[in-house]
């Protein structure tokens, strides 16, 4: 499904949030050439492995996200208190039906 929706090229960005090597490997396979894989999951054990040759051939950028403890709660509070404008982050709206 992802291939047909992206014109057979794959998405430009893939976010891995599961914290498993399988998810990182899948992200590297799915992302488009010159794409970015953003690793947000925390793997256990503390290692991430993927095909270096595939990542090189696709000219990928791999980024790791530094997650902070209690950061989500603080962000929710800031949004509720209108300290940050969360509406400006929304750029597109898509119906959920095609996802299934």
Would residue 46 count as lying in a domain?
Answer: yes
Express each pLDDT in 58-96 by its tens digit.
999 999 998 777 788 888 899 999 998 888 888 888 787
| Structural domain containing residue 57 | 2-66
CATH number of residue 52's parent domain: 3.40.50.720
Q: What percent of the chain has pLDDT over 70?
A: 97
Could you give the number of structural domains in the chain? 1
Express each pLDDT in 26-62 by its tens digit.
999 999 999 999 999 888 888 888 999 999 999 999 9
pLDDT of residue 98: 65
Of 91, 8, 54, 70, residue with least CA distance to 37: 54
Q: What are phi and psi of 52, to 5 degrees?
A: -65, -40
pTM over 0.85: no
């Amino acid at each position: 499904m992802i291939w047909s929706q992206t014109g057979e090229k794959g998405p430009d960005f893939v976010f891995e949030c599961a914290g498993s090597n399988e998810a990182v490997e899948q992200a590297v396979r799915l992302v488009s050439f010159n794409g970015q894989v953003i690793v947000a999951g925390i793997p256990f054990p503390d290692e991430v492995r993927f095909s270096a040759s595939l990542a090189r051939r696709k000219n990928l950028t791999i980024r790791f996200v530094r997650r902070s403890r209690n950061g989500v709660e603080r962000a929710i509070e800031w949004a509720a208190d209108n300290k940050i404008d969360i509406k400006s982050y929304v750029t597109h709206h898509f119906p959920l039906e095609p996802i299934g």
